[in-house]
Structure 1
Amino acid sequence: MDFRRWTQAIRRPTSGWGGMFRRAVSGRVARAVAVLAVAAAGAWLGVALGSPVRAVVGPVEAGMSAEVSWTGETIVDARPLGTLLFDTHDAPIRLRVTLENINTERARAMLEDPRLSDRLPALLEKELSEGIGQLIIRVVVSGLAGALIASLVVFRRPRAALAGLLSAVVMIAGVGTGAILTYRPGAVVEPEYTGLLSGAPSLVGDAESIVTRFESYRGQLAKLVNNVSQLYDTVSALPVYDADPTAIRVLHVSDIHLNLISWNLIRSITAQFKIDLIVDTGDITDHGTGPEDNFVKEIGDLGVPYVFVRGNHDSKATQRAVARQKGAVVLDDSVKTVAGLRIYGLGDPRFTPDKSVAVDSDPNSLAILGRAHATRLAQAFGPVDLVAVHDPTIGRAFSGTTPMVLSGHAHARSTELMPSGTRILVQGSTGGAGLRALEHDEPTPVMASVLYFDRETRRLRAWDDITLGGLGEQSVQIQRHLESEPGRTIFPEPTISPSPTGSTAGAATP
C-alpha cells in the first residue's frame, strides 16, 4: 500500500459517532506525524547535500559543513594529525571544518608583507566569520528547500507541502536558537584530541603545551608549503642530469613520520625530475597503528612504483597497508626488478613503539643480522643493483655484495664509499621528523635525493641532494654530485676467521 492510499484509508468514515471521532483524531495525528517526519528527513537531506561551503581563511582553504548530531560540537579535521573536537554548544547539529589545501601564493604574500602581522588576527577572524555566515545561509536555504521538495514528492498536495515547509522553519529556528543559547566561547581553548594526536602524546608534550604546539605547527605548514613552491621555481631552472637521457631516475625518501606535507614534496619532485620509481627506506608512520594506515593511501596517487622497506616505527600491519596501495612494492628479505633495477629490500627487525617487547638495538647485533642477510642475498638471490634497508648499521653489512645501499633512520643525510666499492647513502628525514620537529629548538631539515642510474650498466652516475628548511625555515638547496668511478669493481668484504695459532686474521670471502 502506497502512502497516498494509506492516508485515504485513514480518512474513511467508520460506523458510529465515537468511532468516527476517534478515527478523525487519530487520522489528524498520523498526518501531522507523517508531515513532520517527511519534512525532517527532507531538511536533513537538503542540509547534507547543499550546505557544504569552501572558505579561505588566511592561506588555508577550508571546507565547512553542518551535520545532524545528537551532541552539538565543532570538529576541526586536520588529518593525518588527527581531529580537534570542541564542545561549543548543545543543539543537535555539528559544525565540521576540514583543512583541505594551502594557497601557496597567498601564503607567500602574507609571509613577505611585514605590515600584515598586526592585521592578521583580525583578518583571520573576519574571513572565518564570513565563512560561517555563508554556511548558516546555506544550511537554512538547503534545509527549507529539502523539506519543501520532500513534502511535494511524498504528499503531492500544496497544503501538505506548505505544512512541511512551516515544520522545517520551526525545526531550523529551534536548532539555531538552541545553538545560540548554549554557545560556550571558552570551549575553543579546551579542545579534545582524537586520532593520531591522542595516540601519540609523546610527540606533542604535556597537556599544558599541546594547544600551543599544535597551533604553532599548523601555522608553520604555510611556510613549509611555501618552501615547496620555491622548490618548483628552483628545479625548473636546474638542468636535469643529461649524460644519458635514458637514465633511470630514483627518488630516495625516508623517515616521513606522518608529515602530510611530504606527499606534496614527493609529488613535486616526481613531476619535475621525471622520476621512474621511489624508494622509501622506512618509518613512514610513527606508531604503526591502524588509524595511521590512512596516511599511506597517498602512495596510490603518485603514478610511479613505490618500493618500501619497513622501519622500526612501522608495524607489520603498516607494511600490509602499504602493500595494498596501487604501485607499491614491499620488500622484506626479497628481491624484485622495478623500472629496470634489481632491488633487494629488508624490513627493520625491530618495532620500537611496542614497549611490551624487548628490542635489541645493539650495533653488533644489527651488524651480525646484516651480514647474515648479506650472505643469504649472495647465495639465494644472486647479484642485485641496489639494497634498501632502514638502519645504516644493517646496511653497511651489505658492503661488497652490491654497488649501492640506501638507508635512513638517522634523520641526517650522509654518504660513504666503503673500501669494497659499495656506496652507502643515508637519507635524512623527508618529513622533517614529523611532529618531533616541535620538540627541538632547531627545525629538522626536509630531505630527499634523486639518483640517476645508467640504464645499460644499472650503476649510479650522479645524484641530486634536495634540502628544504624545516618548520619556520624558507631555504631550499639542491646540490649535484657526480659518481667519480661509476664502473668500479665491487670487492667482497673480508671476513674474520680464526688462524691456526688461535688469533684472528682477515680472509676474503670467495
Structure 2
Amino acid sequence: MNNPTRKKTSIYLKLFLITTFVGLLFVTFLSPSTYNLGPFMVELRLQLLDHGLTTVDISPVGEISARTHLPPVKLLIDLESMDLDQLSDIIATAPQEELVEEIESQVYSIIRSFVTKLLVLSVIGGFVGAIIGGFRTPKYLLTGVGFAVLVTGILMAMTFGTYDIMAFENPEFDGALQAFPWMMGVVEDSLRALDDVSAQLQALSENLFTFFQRIEELQGFDFIEGEYQILHISDIHNNPASYDLVDRMVASFGIDMIIDTGDITDYGSPIEAELASEVSRLPVPYVLIPGNHDSPQVIQRLREIDNVYVVEDQAILEILDFKIAGIADPASESTAMEVPSEEVLDDYAKRLAETVEESGEQPDIIGAHHPHIARQLELAPTILTGHTHLPEVEIVENDDPILVSNAGTTGAAGIRGIEAGGDIPYSLVVLHFNADKQPIAADLIKVRHLESGYRVERFVVEEYLR
C-alpha cells in the first residue's frame, strides 16, 4: 500500500474511532427516556459494553433480569409509577385479544421512538466527535456522522432482531428479590385466589356477627355492649382481601374507628402505597402507626387520604374523643425494612414517653408496631402492637388494669401467605370501651383455615365493668 493510500486509510480509521466512540457516549448517557405504557410509566435507557441483558428495576424491591439478546447492550427499564385505577378499568373492560393487541402496538411505538432518539443522538455525537478530532470539512463531518449512525443502527438492529421475550421465563433476581424467586408466580397465583378469599372472608365476618348477636345465650360468655368499638388490625402486608374483611367487620360490628399498628406493605414501594390506598373506601377513621415494612412514600401517600390519620411521635392525636399516642417504627424512615436493634427501640420508647409527659395529657391508647417499644410504656389503659404475627391479648393486673393487644397479622402475612398455604391465620381484635374510654373487653378473632371457620376468644377487664 503506497503512502497516500495508507495515510488516507489512517485518517478514516481515526475518524471512525473518534466519531463512533463519541456517538456511543451520547447514546449511552443521553438515552434515558420516559414513556407511558398503558397504566405504567416506564423509563427506558441503554448501557453499552454490557451483557445482552434486559433489566427491570422495581425500586426499591430490586431487579429482575434476563439474557434476551446477543449484542453487548443492556436495556434497563425502570418502573416509575402505575395508575391502579386505569389498570383495573383496562382489565375489567378490555377484551383479552384487544388488550394484547393494544399493548403490542404501544410497545412497538415505544421501540420506534426510542431507536429514533438513539439514532438522532448518534448523529449529534458523530458530528461532535468529528469536530473534536479536527475533522471540520463537510466531507469528513458527514462521513463521521455516517460512521456513528451505522454502528448505532447495527447494534439496535441486532439487539431487537435477536430479542427473545421468553427469556424472562428463567429470570435472575437481585436486591431484595434475590431471596424471593417465587415472586413472579406468587402474584399471579395469589391474585387468582383473592376473589375466593375475599368472598369467604366476607361470609365469615357475617357469621361472626350472627354469632355475637346470640352470644348472650352461650354459657360462659358475658354479653358486653361497649359505648365504643375499635377494630385493631396489623401487618396486612399487601393482602387486598384484608380490606374486604375489615370493611365487613366495620359494617357488622358498628366499628367506630380502626387502628392499624403497621406493616400495611411489604417493601414500602410507591406501587404498594397505591395498593394500600384501598383504606380510603373504609367508612370510619383509619389510624396508622407505621411499621418496619412501611416507608416515607407509603406514609405520605396515606396522609393524602381524608379518613387516614398517621400517628408518629410529635403529638397526641385526638380522634372521636380518644387521645392516641404512638410512634412510627424506626425502620419506616427509609425503605431498608430492617428490624432495629434493642438500643434503638429503647430510644424510641423513651421518645414516646417524653412526648406523653410533655403533653401533660393522659392518653387513652398507646400504640407502637414493635412490642419491645409498646410493652415498656404502661402509660395508658390500652396498649396496641403488632410485628410478631402472633395474635395475643393480655390483661395486665395493675392497680389500674392494662389491656395489651397484639393483632397478629390481619393479612395472614400477605399475599405470600396465600401462595404458601401455611398455617398463618387472619387475625384482628375488636376492642370494646366504656364511656370513660376504658377497655372493658377484647374479642380476639382468628381465621386459620377459610374452609373451617374461625376462632373467637373473649378477654374481659372486670375492673372497668364495675
Q: TM tier, shorter chain? A: 0.5 to 0.7
Instruction: Flag structure 2 segments of 5+ consecutive residues without an equivalent.
Output: 1-87, 110-163, 217-221
Query: Are the structure 2 counterparts of residues 463 and 68 from structure 1 closer, same or farther at C-alpha, using a change threshold of 3 Å?
Result: same
Paired with 1:89 and 1:378, the residues of 2 have a C-alpha distance of: 59
Q: Which residue of 2 aligns with 1:503?
A: none
Q: Residue 416 of structure 1 corresponds to which residue in structure 2?
A: 394
Return the offset for 1:438.
5.8
The amino acid that maps onto 2:231 is L
Q: How far apart in 2 are the matches of 1:326 and 1:426?
A: 26
Q: What is the CA-CA distance between 1:216 and the residue it aligns to?
A: 3.8
Cα deviation, residue 485, structure 1: 2.1
Report the CA distance between 1:331 and its aligned residue.
Answer: 1.3
Indicate yes or no: 2:210 matched with 1:236.
Answer: yes
State the TM-score, normalizing by the size of structure 2: 0.58
- Where do 1:14-33 residues align within 5 Å? none
* CA-to-aligned-CA distance 1:140-162 (integer Å, 9 cap, x gap): xxxxxxxxxxxxxxxxxxxxxxx
Q: Find the counterpart in structure 2 of residue 263 from structure 1.
A: 243
Q: Is the 8 A contact 1:282 1:309 kept in 2?
A: yes
* Alignment check: 8 A CA contact 2:382 2:402 kept: yes
Deviation (angstroms), 1:386: 0.4
**Corresponding residue for residue 363 of structure 1:** 342
The answer on whether the counterparts of 1:72 and 1:90 sit within 8 Å (CA) in structure 2 is: no
2:228 counterpart of 1:254? no
The question of whether the paired residues in 2 share the 8 Å contact of 1:412 and 1:428 is answered with yes
Distance 1:233 1:192 in 2: 45
Percent of residue pairs bearing the same amino acid type: 25
2-side partners of 1:351 and 1:449: how far apart? 24
Supply the AA of the counterpart residue of 2:284.
Answer: V
Q: Per the alignment, do residues 398 and 428 of structure 1 end up closer, same or farther by CA in structure 2, a change over 3 Å counting?
A: same
Q: Which residue in the other structure is 2:177 paired with?
A: 201
User: What does residue range 436-451 of structure 1 map to in structure 2 within 5 Å?
Assistant: 436-437=416-417, 442-451=422-431
* Inter-partner Cα distance in structure 2 for 1:289 and 1:89: 26
Cα pair distance change 1:473/1:381, threshold 3 Å: farther
Deviations 1:426-447 (A, max 9, x none): 1111111113326756232111
Residues 97-496 of structure 1 mapped to structure 2, 5 A cutoff? 201=177, 205-206=180-181, 209-210=182-183, 212-225=185-198, 226-239=200-213, 245=225, 247-333=227-313, 334-351=315-332, 354-355=335-336, 361-399=340-378, 401-418=379-396, 420=398, 421-437=401-417, 442-455=422-435, 457-469=436-448, 474-486=452-464
Question: Contact 1:281–1:310 at 8 Å: present in 2 too?
Answer: yes
Secondary structure of the structure 2 residue equivalent to 1:467:
strand
Offset at residue 363 of structure 1 (A) = 2.4
**RMSD, aligned α-carbons:** 4.0
Residue pair 1:282, 1:408 contacting (<8 A) in 2 also: yes
Contact map agreement 2:231 2:259 (CA 8 A) in 1:
yes
3-state DSSP class of the match of 1:486? helix
Q: Distance in 2 between matches of 1:474 and 1:374?
A: 43
Match of 1:64 in 2: 94
Amino acid at match of 1:64: A
Decide whether the 8 Å contact of 1:223 with 1:474 is kept in 2.
no
The 1:189/1:220 distance shift into structure 2, 3 A limit, reads: farther
Q: 1:227, CA displacement in angstroms?
A: 3.6
Alpha-carbon distance between aligned partners in 1 of 2:341 and 2:451, rounded to the nearest angstrom: 35
Indicate the SS of the match to 2:324: strand
Counterparts of 1:319 and 1:91, CA distance in 2: 37
Q: CA deviation at 1:377?
A: 0.8
CA contact (8 A) 1:231 1:476 kept: no
Contact 1:244 1:454 (C-alpha < 8 Å) held by counterparts: no
Q: Is the 8 A contact 2:292 2:339 kept in 1?
A: no
Shift of 1:67: 9.2
Please state whether the residue corresponding to 1:318 is helix, strand or coil: helix
1:231 Cα shift? 2.7
Q: For residue 378 of structure 1, what is the amino acid of its counterpart?
A: E
Q: Distance in 1 between matches of 2:106 and 2:165?
A: 9
Matches within 5 A, 1:73-84: none
CA distance in 1 between counterparts of 2:402 and 2:287 reads 21
Superposed displacement of residue 419, structure 1: 5.6
**1:378-414: CA deviation from partner (whole Å, max 9, x where unpaired):** 2324201101111110001111x11111011111112
Partner letter of residue 212 of structure 2?
A: L
- 1:48-91 deviation per Cα after TM superposition (whole angstroms, max 9, x unaligned): xxxxx99xxxxxx954347988x8476xxxxxxxxxxxx79999
Classify the secondary structure of the residue corresponding to 2:94.
Answer: strand
Question: Would the aligned equivalents of 1:227 and 1:474 in 2 still touch at CA under 8 Å?
Answer: no
Query: What residue is the counterpart of 1:111 in the other structure?
Result: none
1:297-320 deviation line (CA, Å, top 9, x unaligned): 222211111111111111122112
1:224/1:474 contact within 8 Å kept? no
Contact 2:236 2:411 (8 Å CA) reproduced: yes
- Checking the alignment, whether the CA contact within 8 Å between 1:286 and 1:314 is kept in structure 2 is yes
Q: 1:246 to 1:486 in 2, by over 3 A?
A: closer
2:258 aligned partner, one-letter code = I
SS, match of residue 372 in structure 2: helix
Counterpart Cα distance in 1 of 2:178 and 2:464: 44
1:373 is displaced (CA, Å) by 2.0
Deviation at 1:223, TM superposition (A): 4.2
| Counterpart-to-counterpart distance in 2, 1:360 and 1:260 | 24
Do the aligned residues in 2 keep the contact of 1:313 with 1:352 (CA within 8 Å)? Answer: no
- Tell me, yes or no, if the aligned pair for 1:247 and 1:453 is still in contact at 8 Å: yes
Aligned to 1:33: none
In the TM superposition, what whole-angstrom CA distance separates every residue of 1:327-352 from its partner, at most 9, and x where no partner exists? Answer: 11111112122123111121111249
